[in-house]
Amino acid sequence: MTTYSKTLTLFLACIVSSCLKNEEASTNNDLKYQPKEFVEVQHPKWAKNATIYEANIRQFTPEGTFKAFESHLPRIKAMGIDIIWLMPIHPIGVEKRKGTLGSEYSVKDYYGINPEFGTKEDFEALVDKIHSMGMYVIVDWVANHSSWDNQLAKDHPDWYTKTEEGNFQPTPWYDWDDVIDFDYEKPGIRKYMTEALVYWVKECDIDGYRCDTAGFLPTDFWNNARAELDAVKPVFMLAEWESRDLHQKAFDMTYSWTFFDKMVAVTRDKKNMGGLVEYMAHDVSTFPRDGYRMLFTDNHDMNSWNHNMFYNFGDGLEASMVLCGTVNGMPLVYGGQEAGLNRSLKFFDKDLIDWSKFPYEGLFKKLFALKHKNHALWNGKDGGVMVRIYSDKMEQVISFSRTKDNDKVIPIINYSDKSVTVKLNTGNQKGTYTELFSGEKITLKGDDVFEMKPWQYLVLVK
């Protein structure tokens, strides 16, 4: 090969190499602009169309035990419930106790069972029974604070925050006088609490946790705890908090306190629907697509400290339940709601739920059966996005469609205390549907007119 040929070959090789490098740089540069899923959590497969039920074992039966609660499982299953959330199962502190029985959120022993409810063997039997019926169970976990007489306060006082005088204290600024606040700047409490979480999954085969005041703890603690739990089995984690960051690596679902507040603003406080519409808009545009949100018309906190569902929703209660069952999220039933719980249950004492009637059981059955089979109502990215249907009565009527695969659901709700004649812009929803509750066939042709009574709801299904 001549000198000229060698030079030409080297020159061409440099050009090729330069082109490849430029192409690689361009490819890498383009990757920077590719959208990425915010939610890295891998939801258990069974959670994609799940519903959830909160059980207050103390108030559920005269006995107030795990064994007695088992008798309610068949009807809970028949109602369409998939996840049973048990309020805390651990022994309750005696020191500075509130009421006669104390708060279940004042934990004396994270490895123990509250003898009020039975034994560890009774709890294991309950978990097995729930699993045998095709349901799952999560346990309420209180990681932010313990009772004053928890042994950890004696063995590891450095794991707690202190007052300026160096004394134990409740969570700062709160009146939770029966508990003392952990310090998650200390690695010791992080290790202890994570190992305790893992223990109950390994030992009793529970399916995850509802984590009390989850946002009071550092997110990196929860991220690591979730990883260690998932190493045992795929778990489901519910955070009592409302925050995007918890969805990335730690929690499947957070509370939608905002949705509750916006509904109550209309039903109880007689405000306009602006706040509720804003919530829907933000849910579609700003919330992680695969983050689950828990929706409710009651739970133990609301019921205990913020009146009951009838006080909060009045004649709009059923319409609000329908909203919770059809908007993006997972609907919760607080134990007793199906029986028409019309008062605030005592929190620190025995206060039995009246199970003589079940006025809302049928409503929940209809909604949850639809959620199970219709992909449009599934959770997170497995479900359909809410698309607003405009009308000439936007200040009164909530109407939207959700579509996934070949399934479609269209809720139309007169969310007001006045009758309305509404014309819906249904040009994109033309077709024949079945109304969920009446079974009536309804054909949408575009610019369809509906006469609706106060708080009346329709759920059109295809």
Residue holding tokens 């509904």? Answer: 263
- Residue 273 pLDDT exceeds 80: yes
- Residue 203 pLDDT exceeds 70: yes
Question: Average pLDDT, stretch 162-167?
Answer: 96
- Residue 338 pLDDT exceeds 90: yes
For residue 142 the two structure tokens come to 């209180």
Q: Is 243 helix (H, G, I), strand (E, B) or coil?
A: coil
- Residue 4 pLDDT exceeds 90: no
Q: Determine the pLDDT at residue 103.
A: 97
Q: Confirm if 327 and 285 have CB atoms less than 8 A apart.
A: no
Question: Average pLDDT, stretch 415-429?
Answer: 97
Q: Determine the pLDDT at residue 27.
A: 62
Question: Average pLDDT, stretch 244-267?
Answer: 98
Average model confidence (pLDDT) across the chain: 95
Instruction: Give the least confident one: 12-26, 189-203, 361-375.
Output: 12-26
C-alpha 108/C-alpha 148 separation (Å) is: 8
Q: Determine the pLDDT at residue 266.
A: 98
What is the chain's alpha carbon radius of gyration, rounded to the nearest angstrom? 26
- Residue 16 pLDDT exceeds 70: no
C-alpha 374/C-alpha 371 separation (Å) is: 6
Q: Determine the pLDDT at residue 50.
A: 98
Residue 374 CA from chain centroid, whole number: 20
Contacts of 159 (CB under 8 A, 6+ apart): 152, 182, 183, 186, 188, 189, 192
C-alpha 408/C-alpha 396 separation (Å) is: 23
C-alpha 209/C-alpha 200 separation (Å) is: 10
Q: How many residues does the chain have?
A: 462
Question: Average pLDDT, stretch 375-394?
Answer: 98
Residue-wise pLDDT for 168-183, tens only, equals 999 998 888 999 999 9
The structure's pTM equals 0.93
- Residue 1 pLDDT exceeds 80: no
C-alpha 107/C-alpha 184 separation (Å) is: 17
C-alpha 367/C-alpha 370 separation (Å) is: 5
Residue-wise pLDDT for 28-48, tens only, equals 678 889 999 999 999 999 999
Residue 316: C-alpha distances to residues 109, 172, 177, 304, 324 (Å): 42, 37, 36, 20, 12
- Residue 13 pLDDT exceeds 90: no
Closest to 223 (Cα-Cα) out of 193, 248, 254 = 248
Q: Determine the pLDDT at residue 184.
A: 98
Q: What percent of the chain has pLDDT over 70?
A: 94
Q: What is the DSSP string of 25-82?
A: HHHHHHHTTS---S------GGGTT--EEEE-HHHHSSS-SHHHHGGGHHHHHHTT--
Question: Average pLDDT, stretch 359-382?
Answer: 98
Q: Determine the pLDDT at residue 32.
A: 84
Contacts of 352 (CB under 8 A, 6+ apart): 59, 61, 62
- Residue 165 pLDDT exceeds 60: yes
**Longest CA pairwise span in the chain (Å):** 102
